[in-house]
Structure 1
Amino acid sequence: MALSDRPLRGVLFDRDDTLVVDVPYNADPARVVPVPGAARAVAAARAAGLAVGVVTNQSVIAKGMASREQVDATNARVDELVGPFDVWELCPHDRDDDCACRKPRPGMVLRAAERLGLDPADLVVVGDIGADVGAAEAAGGQGILVPTARTLPAEVAAATTVAATIEEAVALVRAHAAPVSA
């Protein structure tokens, strides 16, 4: 399974279980632990001239378990340990809120593309569940699934592109890179 041959200009990462170890509803910067290889993968994407960003569902806000400020502080810690990122997009809504931004809907990917000045088709979303890949595809981009223990077998089977690690995912993107700085 591989990406299409379209030149790529950016990569958007899911946060939890893709860049950092998933701590359910985490809004505590002290609990942020990078996934092995995440910082190297982001650095490799940057070195290839790709725009980098994060698209993350954060229903902890809608559930009233944390404030936007707490989530922003947690994201700042991710940025410090794994980034820096050119753009952050987050969905503060819950599953039943019927918003346009919660993955697998395309809202965050479309906003990130706009903020980066890129066509969504120039982007890849790297994530650990089908909703991440679905958001990329719904926006007109591509997705790479990096399965974890919570990834469903059906999500793996449905994914067009699967990588064993975040570093392998970025290597696939780099192979199709058309740097933003070009």
Structure 2
Amino acid sequence: MKLLILDRDGVINEDRADFVKSPDEWVPIPGSLQAISELSRAGWTLVVATNQSAIGRGIISMDTLNAIHTKMHRAVAETGGHIDAVFFCPHAPDADCQCRKPRPGMLLDIGRRFHANIGDRAMVGDSLRDLQAIAAVGGKPVLVRTGNGAKTEATGNLPVGTRVYDDLAAYASALLNPSLESQP
């Protein structure tokens, strides 16, 4: 199985300092929906792994999160693709849970659900915690420069082996056309 894990905010949709609090505030990053569609049509299983502390902070409800994800699924479907599952951590940062990235609990759950060794998989993220979560299980960290990615790259201290791309579309292109990646 070709399984790819994607962070949501900053990878698929625009990130907001004040959280994505409604479906109207969920705005896709240019090219991200097409990238997801191309990957899903090429046989990739695509799973979103996202921290959603706005729930634990009392900023949004589960119903609102579900409405946001419904909009995301519909937008991807309109471009001919699909997301196979969405995993999320609803806890606030001080909850000390195992599922909040950078801890790998959510990724381990994905591995169990899809009967996959997460240590053989990549995760695309825009923040250090995304990269740390996949690196903690021996997986392949992929940083995109969208969202907080450019700032994350500039800060440095990325996990060993982190690959960096301009955006999800560029990474999808590299996955779908591996011969292009070796060209200058």
Q: TM tier, shorter chain?
A: 0.7 to 0.9
From 56, 79, 89, the counterpart of 1:91:
89
Q: If the length of structure 1 is used for normalisation, what is the TM-score?
A: 0.84
Change beyond 3 A, Cα 1:110–1:172: farther
Q: Does the C-alpha gap of structure 1 residues 108 and 74 become closer, same or farther in structure 2, counting only changes over 3 Å?
A: same
Conserved? CA contact 2:146–2:167, under 8 Å: no
**Paired positions, count:** 168
CA RMSD of aligned residues (A): 1.9
Q: Considering fraction of residues, name the structure with more helix.
A: 2
Structure 2 unpaired stretches of 5+: 179-184
Q: Does the alignment pair 1:154 with 2:155?
A: yes
Matches within 5 A, 1:1-182: 9-23=2-16, 24-82=18-76, 84-148=82-146, 150=148, 151-152=151-152, 153-155=154-156, 158-159=158-159, 160-174=162-176
Query: Stretches of 4+ moved more than 4 A in 1?
Result: none
Alignment partners' CA distance in 1, 2:27 and 2:2: 27
Check conservation: 1:54, 1:89, Cα contact below 8 A. Answer: yes
Whether the aligned pair in 2 keeps the contact of 1:62 and 1:92 (CA below 8 Å) is yes
The answer for unaligned runs of 5 or more in structure 1 is 1-7, 177-182
Give the Cα–Cα distance (whole angstroms) in 2 for the partners of residues 57 and 154 of structure 1: 21
Counterpart secondary structure, 1:46:
helix
CA distance in 2 between partners of 1:72 and 1:174 (Å): 30
Q: 1:175 to 1:135 in 2, by over 3 A?
A: farther
* Secondary structure of 1:144's aligned partner: strand
SS in 2 for 1:102: coil
Paired amino acid for 1:158: L
Using the aligned pairs only, state the percent identity.
Answer: 32
